[in-house]
Amino acid sequence: MDFTPPVRADLVGVASYGAPQLDVAARLNVNENPFPLPDAVVHAMSEAVAAVAPGLNRYPDREAVALRQALADYLDQESGVRVGVDQVWAANGSNEVMHHLFLAFGGPGRLAVSFDPTYSMYPEYARDTFTEYASFARRPDHTVDVAQARSVIAERRPSLVLLTSPNNPTGTSLPIVHVRSIAEAALESGAMVIVDEAYAEFRRAGVPSALELLGELPNLVVTRTMSKAFAMAGARLGYAAAADPRVVEALRVVRLPYHLSAVTQAVAIAALAHAGVLQAQVALLRSERDALAEWLRQKGFSVAPSDANFILFGQFDDRHALWQHLLDDGVLIRETGPAGWLRVSVGTPAENAMFRDALAKAMARV
Ligand SMILES: *Cc1c(COP(=O)(O)O)cnc(C)c1O
């Protein structure tokens, strides 16, 4: 019998998401923290896993209360904003948090809006949840056109508005007054606003977090992750702080049973207890970022001002050729963003030096 798996019609021929995972000398393409976890953190994680291992015959704490409490404490320490444990949600990466948000607040007949260029996963969450998706162009300086956003919200009545700050792939932050103005328009039309702050810890001094708006905007959710600043992309832990605890109640309805393993919860709690050590790495990455951005500017490139651990730079007639030259030299960066631009993640000082050398060499060839 000939058999064709009855894949959903809208998924036939669709390729799965994924940046190349290549074994090269400098992997600067997916915005990971390049530093292995410090020994003290590895040790604490190992002890935490050993402590929960005998109990793995039981399902984990479904509500992950201890972890959510630790995340609330961390947000207070990092941003000076105190939220209750009933306002915090956690899942396997902020991708899963976002999936939960689409499951609970999107769906057939509903619309999510975002502002391009931005994170390439958003349309996939929309597709998976049968949510309509519309994206509007950012201005040339990568900010969102606030007046346009407000009128789109009033006219099209989305249920979800996605703002990414610092944005991927541009690295740029949205001014908090813009976030507030867009979120106020969303509040008037009954929409949720999600500020994706995956890169928040890398923001420059004086740049506020949208967490500061939680007290004034009941429709606001701020998502964060341990994948970037915390150097824990492999552990899969993302989280969100919602202004209204009823948002967390709704996410609880759509999550799969026991979605966060006891191992994940234990490892994340252990890492949060060492936030200070990990924040020292973040400080080094921020200064490497600023130095690399300055070097690129001096070389005559256009550079988007970055509050993240990556830099968008350009502009190239043939960016693919340049990307390939760098890869041939063992430096993997990302071909993404507006036409003619490339994105490089900030690596260790040694990796950044490799990138600078490879780029200077490649420029002589294109
Ligand atoms: C990396 C990234 C995330 C984080 O994804 P995880 O699932 O937490 O690893 C979320 N949003 C944006 C914009 C990102 O670039």
Mutate to test the pocket of ligand 1, among 119, 125, 346 (most ligand atoms within 8 A of CB): 119
Whether the per-residue pLDDT at 106 is higher than 90: the answer is yes
Q: Whose CA is nearest to atom 12 of ligand 1?
A: 198
| pLDDT band for position 19 (cuts 50, 70, 90) | confident
The alpha carbon of 23 and the centre of ligand 1 are apart by a number of angstroms equal to 22
Give yes or no for residue 167 CB within 6 A of ligand 1. no
Q: What does pLDDT average to over the chain?
A: 97
Q: What is the pLDDT of residues 50-70, one digit of tens each?
A: 999 999 999 999 999 999 999
Q: Whose Cα sits closest to atom 11 in ligand 1? A: 198
Q: What is the pLDDT of residues 153-204, one digit of tens each?
A: 999 999 999 999 999 999 999 999 999 999 999 999 999 999 999 999 999 9
**What confidence score (pLDDT) does residue 17 get?**
81
17, 32, 92, 95, best to mutate for ligand 1 pocket (most atoms within 8 Å of CB): 95
Q: How far is the CA of 299 from the centre of ligand 1 (A)?
A: 30
Domain with CATH 3.90.1150.10 in the chain: 19-35+276-365
306 touches ligand 1 (CB under 6 Å): no
pLDDT at 205 over 90: yes
> For the chain, where do the domains classified as CATH 3.40.640.10 start and end?
39-273
Q: Give distance in angstroms: CA of 135 to centre of ligand 1.
A: 18
269-306 residue pLDDT tens: 999 999 999 999 999 999 999 999 999 999 999 999 99
- For residue 238, give the ligand 1 atom closest to its CA: 8
Alpha carbons 41 and 44: distance in angstroms, whole number: 5
Spatial separation of the C-alpha atoms in residues 145 and 294, rounded to whole Å: 27
- Distance from the alpha carbon of residue 169 to the mean position of ligand 1, in angstroms: 11
- Asked if CATH classification 3.90.1150.10 holds for the domain at 19-35+276-365, the reply, yes or no, is yes
pLDDT of residue 208: 97
- CATH class of the domain at 39-273: alpha beta
pTM summary value? 0.97
Q: What pLDDT score was predicted for residue 20? A: 82
**Could you tell me if the CB of 225 is within 6 A of ligand 1?**
yes
Distance 97 CA to ligand 1 centre (A): 10
Residue to substitute in 228, 309, 345 for testing ligand 1 pocket (most ligand atoms within 8 angstroms of CB) = 228
Q: Which atom of ligand 1 is nearest to the CA of 94?
A: 8
CB 218 within 8 A of CB 235: no
Quickly state the pLDDT bin for 307 (edges 50, 70, 90): very high
| pLDDT tens sequence across 228-265 | 999 999 999 999 999 999 999 999 999 999 999 999 99
